[in-house]
Amino acid sequence: MNPLSALYHVVFPSTCAACGQVLTVGERQLCLDCLASLGATCTAPQDDNTTERLLAGRYPLAAAMSLYSFHKEDTVQRVVHAMKFHSNSELCLLMGRQLGLELLRSGRFDDVELLVPVPLHWWRRLQRGYNQSELLCRGIAEVMPRPVVTGAVVRHRYTRQQSLQRASRRAANVEGAFSLRHGERLAGRHVLLVDDVLTTGATLGACIDALRPVEGLRLSVATLSIAR
């Protein structure tokens, strides 16, 4: 680190997005303690893993995985919260790269051709400044180069935050919220659908329902996190 950067770091120290501690030189976005405490599922290489079982019956998925498992107020949940509510696009990209590395390591997603984020409603995207799932895709693409396709499927209905809904209400909250706009962009391709959180599978399920008419679609799913 050159002297000017070191001085900048002292005057304007960055803090960890999960615990708020001042980051030391070399740490980016998350301190080493928080990075180490992210609970990896380590199940990406396995058939019939928890993610696949949760989404079973929605669509004949080629493969599915989640990188981290979380429970209430742990580090993973704080990271996801920072991605959604603290305008932290850098953190989204960092998490995308982590997800991409795990996809590569698993060896089950090598023939994925396109990355498709679960879309946000335009109003929520405007409020947030970005779609965190799209940035996850862009982070994945940095380590696993594939085109990121947005706009093929859209979220046309504004829905209440899923995390504020009771589990029994989540499916009804998002049912029919997505629609297919440019299915031809995905026809005959192996698409990886990407989202930040998997809890009941209601949001991903509704998005998968919208993709169902795409001809010759081969579909896989990756999420940054899954509820324990």
Please tell me whether residue 94 binds Zn ion under the rule CB under 5 A. no
Q: Which two tokens stand for residue 140?
A: 């994945």
CB of 197 to Zn ion, least distance (A): 20
Please tell me whether residue 16 binds Zn ion under the rule CB under 5 A. yes
Please tell me whether residue 224 binds Zn ion under the rule CB under 5 A. no
Distance CA 197, CA 210 (A): 19
Burial (CB < 10 A; 0-12, 13-18, 19+), residue 206, is: buried
CB of 37 to Zn ion, least distance (A): 8
Residue in 52, 54, 95, 56 with CA at minimum distance from that of residue 76: 95
Please tell me whether residue 17 binds Zn ion under the rule CB under 5 A. no
Q: Which segment (30-38, 111-119, 147-155, 209-217) binds Zn ion by CB under 5 A?
A: 30-38
Half-sphere exposure at residue 116, Cβ-oriented, CA atoms within 13 angstroms = 29
Q: Which segment (26-34, 45-53, 113-121, 163-171) binds Zn ion by CB under 5 A?
A: 26-34
Helix (H, G, I), strand (E, B) or coil at 183: helix
CB of 120 to Zn ion, least distance (A): 27
CB of 16 to Zn ion, least distance (A): 3
User: Which of 1, 6, 7, 19 forms a contact with Zn ion (CB under 5 A)?
Assistant: 19
Residue position matching structure tokens 């929605």: 58
Burial (CB < 10 A; 0-12, 13-18, 19+), residue 99, is: buried
CB of 25 to Zn ion, least distance (A): 15
Residue count, binding to Zn ion (CB under 5 A): 5
CB of 30 to Zn ion, least distance (A): 6
Q: Which segment (17-25, 101-109, 114-122, 135-143) binds Zn ion by CB under 5 A?
A: 17-25
Burial (CB < 10 A; 0-12, 13-18, 19+), residue 222, is: buried
- 199, 173 in Cβ contact below 8 A? no
Please tell me whether residue 32 binds Zn ion under the rule CB under 5 A. no
Give the count of beta carbons closer than 10 Å to the beta carbon of residue 172: 11
Q: Which segment (11-19, 92-100, 118-126, 135-143) binds Zn ion by CB under 5 A?
A: 11-19
User: Which of 29, 31, 120, 186 forms a contact with Zn ion (CB under 5 A)?
Assistant: 31
Chain contacts with Zn ion (rule: CB under 5 A): 16, 18-19, 31, 34
